[in-house]
A and B are shown apart, each in its own frame.
Chain A
């Protein structure tokens, strides 16, 4: 109520007692900090592999949901993580988290895919170059690291955003609720789309011979993916 002069008089009301958050169902792994990932796998590959860029393309099938932790970094595009990225993630998270109350786990394997490079300054030809380094392929929709423990999302978000911005693909920090919310919103968007013409419908029926200009993979990707990019605003 406004007091003399029309200015509202500040007053203290009833104190509201909120219950502290319940951290009962959380199991800590043996080592709370992130494990060190090798640059080269224990058994280095002898045979050089073809470039198989299809391991970047499209949605991820593995590591899409949370296992132990409550918060994590979700990849919103595809890309390769090499040892430098792993070290950056490990050190940043190790520096910013409190090992007594929080823990972190990897959701991507150590680099396993060999990438070859030819030496600088040579012309084309002369065979495939030797193996230079190893990388891990990450598809969009995959979790990179998971963080959990007796902490809230707001405590973890700053350093997770810091890490997510440094990754070679677009990434966002998520919690269990925010991931569920994202998926629900996507579903709602798909259902209340007022446009009667959807990519999926046109491709499956091959309307106007569109499949001449599209890839057979577009039947599965449904216009949401283009190369390694994930188009968030589609459908």
Chain B
């Protein structure tokens, strides 16, 4: 009986009873825990690793069926806001706004053109489409939107001196007039040309006044037509009497008043 127990552990107690087997049986085979190569895993461990792998979440609607979210970019808002405010003020303050297509010109020609237009109190403004388009679409000038496609400039003026503007632009082949908005009226190129041919406001006002006062001016002559006719006949008679002399004085019939 005592021979069955281990000689060295004669003082031991409860664990080293007969038939006791330790719970964990450490196997001293193979390499250490940390190796340079990839140590082969026990099959049970492999199974455990396979079972506990990461499973990605699958949403009910796949993301590519949803519309892509456009992130609203707020970059550079301040500068763009300032430019938009300037364009709005321009439209409010000027009576005439002409939109022209601008092809690249030599700089000195640009300066000369600006100079000539300045003499007629017309300012040349270079505008960016991406700023003007939102401004126009929200104001009443929606019909000017199709004009702002390629590079263009605005000729603005508080007065409407279209004839001088057209003359200057005729001398500059690289700037083509597309359309204009004069006194809240949108005109095409032909409209602008015909507007230029119109007489000035003062002249047309005078013409209207003349046309209106034409009839009243004739009233006095109308009223005096009867007596004037009588006076003319009497004169004629007097002349006849003087000229006729002895001839039977044909009494003119009394004038009908």
Contact = CB atoms under 8 A, between A and B. Distances in A.
Interface of A: 1, 3, 9, 11, 13-14, 16-18, 53-54, 56-57, 78, 189, 192-195, 197-199, 202, 210, 212-215, 217, 223, 226-229, 233-235
B52 to A, nearest CB: 4
Contacts of A18: 75
Nearest to A200: B52
Given A223-B48, A227-B35, 4 more contacts: A14-B131, A18-B75, A189-B54, A192-B57
A62 B41 CA distance: 29
Contacts of A193: 54-55
Contact of B80 (A14, A194, A213, A233): A14
Contacts of B214: none
Contacts, number: 85
Interface string B36-72: 1011011011001101111111100000000000000
B24 interface: yes
A227 B54 contact: no
Contacts of B33: 53-54, 57, 215, 217, 227
Nearest to B24: A212
B52 A54 contact: no
A78 B24 CA distance: 29
Contacts of A215: 33
10 contacts: A1-B149, A14-B128, A53-B34, A189-B54, A192-B57, A195-B54, A197-B52, A213-B44, A228-B35, A235-B54
B76 A16 contact: yes
Contacts of A1: 149
Please classify how large the interface on chain B is, using the bins under 10, 10 to 19, 20 to 34, 35 or more.
20 to 34
**Chief secondary structure at chain B's binding surface:** loop
Interface of B: 24, 32-36, 38-39, 41-42, 44-45, 48-49, 51-58, 75-76, 79-80, 83, 128-131, 149-151
Given A233-B54, A234-B53, A11 B38 contact: no
A223 B52 contact: yes
B34 A227 contact: yes
Contacts of A223: 48-49, 52
A17 B79 CA distance: 9
B32 A53 contact: yes
B52 A198 contact: yes
A226 to B, nearest CB: 7
B72 to A, nearest CB: 15
Nearest to A209: B44
A235 B51 CA distance: 11
Nearest to A189: B54
B34 A194 contact: no
B34 A228 contact: yes
B34 A54 contact: yes
A210 B50 CA distance: 14
Contacts of A197: 51-52
B45 A213 contact: yes
Contacts of A233: 54
B76 A14 contact: yes
A196 B205 CA distance: 91
Contacts of B32: 53
Contact of B44 (A9, A189, A199, A210): A210
Contacts of B149: 1
Contacts of A16: 75-76
A202 B130 contact: no
Given A16-B76, A227-B33, A194 B38 contact: no
Contacts of B56: 192, 194
A233 B54 CA distance: 8
Contacts of B38: 226-227, 229
